[in-house]
Every structure is written in structure tokens, then in C-alpha cells.
Amino acid sequence: MKPIVCVGHAALDHVYRIEAFPPTPTKVRSLEHIESGGGMAANAAAAIARLGGHVELWSRTGADAAGHRIHALLEGDGVDVRYVMVHEGARSSTSAVIVDAKGDRLIIGERDHAMPMDAGWLPLEHIAGAAAVLSDLRWIEGTNAAFKTAREKGVATILDADLGGGGHLEDFLRLADYAIFSAPALAALPVDGDEMARLEAVLAMGTVHAGVTRGAEGYTWVGKGGDRGHQPAFATEVVDTTGAGDAFHGAFAWALAEGKPTAECARIASAVSAIKCRRLGARAGLPTREELEAFLASN
């Protein structure tokens, strides 16, 4: 089984469920609290591993208590963490995630901007034998090295195009085969026109697939050769939407590595994202392959 390489962010989340967000600052009692693995690339890697895929996470943490928990939670999920570099003196990323009764959330994240950015230690030779490379664009140097190597070796690249990627998004769209946007990120792209025109513009940059996730409104994409489609969102109980997009990206990469056609990749990714939303935290609800197949059979 060829591995999928995920490059980017790993974090530790502290998730609090409340009844409703208050209209003004005050004290609010939590109905439930859990500790959860977080970080976009790390969550995508966990989704792949839960589905039975072989996945390597290329990331960085500090040598602190949060970093130890990040590693332990990833290992518990079945992710290969040999290339999650531990940096002495750096602070691992942490987040406070507040979720209301509707599943909407507020995320307050903290990242150490002094974290070393060097990517010279990455095992780029692994990419030639990989099924795909996915990045959340939260580590520019790592993504640049991995995507350029993947392009040279003919390995598919998948870009999680979300807000927060700085001014580098357009540069990496030219190295990406599959660009999957959040709706706000697509809207922020400096391109004229409606949503479909923006996706077509991304396709013109050299991608073979450009899509946008829109929560309850589903997933819309365009592709080379006139390929285009829409996958409606699956109806499901929504407890927490945290990490739903990460689950989508991870599942899409897994399905692509399995050789599925685009429409089936979108269907599988939408299902995994919906199943994830049934439980609190970014990873607790991630399905196994058997759970995914049972969900698809009944929907």
C-alpha cells in the first residue's frame, strides 16, 4: 500500500460544548469538555488512517507537554509520526474550541511563530513511492519542498485551500493538481466573477480539479476535459463541525489513492465529513472503512 503524505499543521485542541454563545462577554458553564488532536493536516492524516490508509504526517511540534500529547494522539489514530519533528524550546500549537448546540464553533488558536521553518530534514525521497501529497499550506517551506518533488515525480498533489495561508496560495495553486477550497477562501481569491468563474480561473492556473466545500450546501467542482459536478451534503446529526473540512480533504485523498473516479471521491469525502460531525472534537467521529461503507449503503 503506497502511503499518502500530509504536510502541515498539528495541534492540541481543548474543546468545550456550551448551550449557546452569549450576546456579551460573561461566564458560561461548559456542558462537556474533551481533549482532542487538532491541526488541519494532522486531522486529514487521522481521517486517512482511520479509513485504513497508510499515511505519514510531516509536521513540527515543540518538546513540551502539548507536543507529547499531539504525538500520542496521532499514534493512537494510526498515523506514522516518524517525521513530526520535535523542536526543543518551541511551543506546540494549541487551540480552545467552543461549540454551541447547533454545532457551530469558535476557534482560538495559538501557534509559535518562532517555530523553525527549515524543511531540509524532510525525507523527500519517500515521495516517489507515495500515492499522493496533501498540504494545508500552514508550513510553506515544507509544502514547497514536497509539492515540487511530487511534481517532478508525477505524484498527485492536493491543496487544502483555506483562509490563513498568507499570500502564498496562488503560488501553490500552480503546483497543485487538486485544489479544494473552503467557500470563504474561494471568495477571497483575487479573481473576478462568480463561484464557477473562480473555479474555472483556478483550473486555468494548471490544476486538474478545482472544488469548493460549502457545508450543508455540498461540494461543487470543475475539472479538465469538461468534468464538473455537485455532490449534495449528506443529512446527519450535527454535534460539532470542527475538522469537517479536514476530514473531507483526508478522505478525498484516500479515495483518490484508491483509484476512485472524481465523483466517487467527492461522495466518499462528503460522507466522511458528515459522519465526523456526529461527535465532539475533530477526530472522535472519524469513521473506519466499515463504518463508511455502512453509512453509504444506507444513504
Return the HEC string of the chain: CCCEEEECCCEEEEEEECCCCCCCCCCCCCCEEEEEEECHHHHHHHHHHHCCCCEEEEEEEECCHHHHHHHHHHHHHCCECCCEEEECCCCCEEEEEEECCCCCEEEEEECCCCCCCCCCCCCHHHHHHCCEEEECCCCHHHHHHHHHHHHHHCCEEEEEECCCCHHHHHHHHCCCCEEEEEHHHHHHCCCCCCHHHHHHHHHHCCCCEEEEECHHHCEEEEEHHHCEEEECCCCCCCCCCCCHHHHHHHHHHHHHHCCCCHHHHHHHHHHHHHHHCCCCCCCCCCCCHHHHHHHHHHC
Euclidean distance between CA atoms 266 and 268, whole angstroms: 6
CA atoms of 103 and 157, how far apart (whole Å): 31
Give the pLDDT band of residue 165 (cuts 50, 70, 90): low
Can you give the residue ranges of every domain in the chain?
A: 4-121+128-298
Round the average pLDDT of the chain to a whole number and report it: 95
Q: Is the pLDDT of residue 167 over 70?
A: no
The span from the CA of 139 to the CA of 133, in Å, is 14
Condensed to tens digits (0 to 9), the pLDDT of residues 224-245 reads 988 999 999 999 999 999 999 9
60-69: pLDDT as tens digits: 999 999 999 9
Please tell me the predicted confidence (pLDDT) of residue 66.
97
pLDDT digits (tens, 9 = 90+) for 1-16: 899 999 999 999 999 9
Query: For position 171, what pLDDT does the model report?
Result: 87
Residue (of 203, 197, 201, 253) closest to 224 by Cα position: 203
Q: The whole model's pTM is what?
A: 0.96
Over 80: is that where the pLDDT of 166 sits?
A: no
pLDDT (average), residues 119-147? 97
For residues 217-225, average pLDDT: 96
pLDDT tens readout for residues 79-132: 999 999 999 999 999 999 999 999 999 999 998 888 999 999 999 999 999 999
Average pLDDT value for residue range 166-193 = 90
CB-based contacts of 192, cutoff 8 Å, min separation 6: none
pLDDT tier at 168, thresholds 50, 70, 90:
confident
Residue 298 reports pLDDT greater than 90: yes
Averaged pLDDT, 261-287: 97
pLDDT score of 259 more than 70: yes
135 CB contacts (<8 Å, ≥6 apart)?
A: 6, 7, 8, 41, 142, 143, 146, 147, 157, 158, 159, 160, 172
Band of pLDDT at residue 281, cut at 50, 70 and 90: very high
Q: Which residue has the higher pLDDT, 129 or 192?
A: 129
Task: Report the CATH fold assignment for 4-121+128-298.
Answer: UDP-N-acetylmuramoyl-L-alanine:D-glutamate ligase (3.40.1190)
